[in-house]
Amino acid sequence: MATLLPPPKQLPDTSTLDTKSAPTIVVQFVSQDDGEMLLGPAVNVPANFSPVPFQFHMRLPESAIDDALWAPTRLIVSTSLLQEVLAHPSKAFTPEDALKVYCSLQSIFRMCPAMRCSSTLVVHGASILCAAFLSMGRLLATGLGDTTACLLDLNMELPSHTLTGHKGWMLCVEWEARERKLATSGHDGQVRIWNPKSGKPLGDALKGHTMWITSLAWGLIHINAKNPRVASSSKDNTVRVWSTVTRLSGFMLGGQPLCSSMGRRQYHAHWVTTLALNTDFVLCTSPYDHTGKVPTSDEEGNITASTPELLISGSGDHTLFLWSVFGVETAMGPPKPSARLTGHQRQVSRVGFSPYGQWAASVGFDNCLRVWGGQTGKYIARLRGHIMPVYRLTWSADSRLLVSVSKDRTVKY
């Protein structure tokens, strides 16, 4: 006897909306990028109109904001204007008002929380000391304790190439932004450049360090695309910048401070503990997107930014500053910060921009996360849950999930 399948679950019909009980309101859609550009004329819509693939929010007037309670300054419209705006406890909006709704496109994909291990690759014969993903997620480079590196094809879940040549433990692997080259370094103090397609080295090793190399970093590809450079830091207290074309060390940093502290401009009152750029994500992913299309030329892969490049600095004085990277110096001195972000009660340990630069999040030793506006630095929300100092945070690629790690031995998202 065949097993009878249960009847399909009946879902409510959402094709028609009950607009009789909802008032009609005037809505003016405004771009969130600058807050001034009108997206068409004002329209009359029912207050309970259905959701669409956009993200909407409204800004509360200053009279309705309680600074003492750190109340959010914006109302997120997720279901309808009737529920989120007109029924808000502040009573700041009425059906007779012309509502200015700020909207922005959501990500074209959504990241799902990792709930289980999807695969285990048992292909290494020694301890794995470092790893780096290709931006498209097709290849994974790993550095091993047997002086070799391995390129793994994640679609086949098999090794693609084994890179041999180093004479010590493999400590660092780093992909070039356009993913045409791979740099490796190890305990032998040498840097090697590889062709990931063939698995062959591009020339001889770059030699100059007298001790092992601790980290690698490629130069910005949009500044010097024809002659990409790679920097290596070593236990010998130096940083060397190499040219991949001439295969020579362009210059060496050592014996002097490697970076200037924001505290020397007398804005922060304590150590600068963390820095973040709003272009970090696009500089890591380059011109690649979810379609997997590879640009045919360098010009096609260029990105024209519609917003300025911004920097956030966090300090042990419990504050953050928002800076314009290309600020103009005045007769009074160097550029000044655009905004001062206050609210943390203890040292700020980490700050990071969301991938599209819309938000910024910071964590500190006061056991909480704070979310700020990525363009203005305005306070958005406070996220609680940790019971001990929070050390690190990171955003998902769709700006929807935020992960934090804490001294309380938990990871929360």
Residue 261 has pLDDT above 50, yes or no: no
Q: What are the CB-based long-range contacts (under 8 Å, 24+) for 89-98?
A: 90/60, 90/64, 91/64, 92/60, 92/61, 92/63, 92/64, 93/58, 95/23, 95/24, 95/25, 95/47, 97/25, 97/26, 98/26, 98/27, 98/28, 98/42
Question: What is the pLDDT at residue 19?
Answer: 46
Residue 216 Cα distances to 167, 190, 254, 351, angstroms: 18, 11, 16, 22
Structure tokens at 124: 């290494």
More reliable by pLDDT, 21 or 29 = 29
Query: How many Cα atoms within 13 Å fall on the side-chain side of residue 209?
Result: 29
Residue 328 Cα distances to 264, 309, 313, 320, 325, angstroms: 18, 13, 18, 20, 9
Question: What is the pLDDT at residue 397?
Answer: 75
Kindly report which listed range (59-73, 177-191, 261-275) carries the lowest average pLDDT score: 59-73
What pLDDT digit, counting tens, does each position of 263-285 carry?
A: 455 677 778 888 888 877 776 66
User: 3-state SS of 309-376?
Assistant: CEEEEEECCCCEEEEECCCCCECCECCCCCEEECCCCCCEEEEEECCCCCEEEEEECCCEEEEEECCC
Residue 102 has pLDDT above 50, yes or no: yes
Kindly report which listed range (14-23, 150-159, 354-363, 367-376) carries the lowest average pLDDT score: 14-23
Q: What is the mean pLDDT of the chain?
A: 75
Residue 61 has pLDDT above 70, yes or no: no
User: Confidence class of residue 51 from pLDDT cuts 50, 70 and 90?
Assistant: low
Kindly report which listed range (26-40, 194-208, 286-300, 341-355) carries the lowest average pLDDT score: 286-300
Domains, the chain, in order of start with CATH, read 24-105 (3.10.20), 128-253 (2.130.10.10), 262-412 (2.130.10.10)
Question: What is the pLDDT at residue 8?
Answer: 62
Residue 377 has pLDDT above 70, yes or no: yes
Average pLDDT of the residues in 291-314: 68
Q: What percent of the chain has pLDDT over 90?
A: 2
Residue 227 has pLDDT above 60, yes or no: yes
Question: What is the pLDDT at residue 72?
Answer: 46
Strands 98-105 and 24-31: parallel
Question: What is the pLDDT at residue 362?
Answer: 92
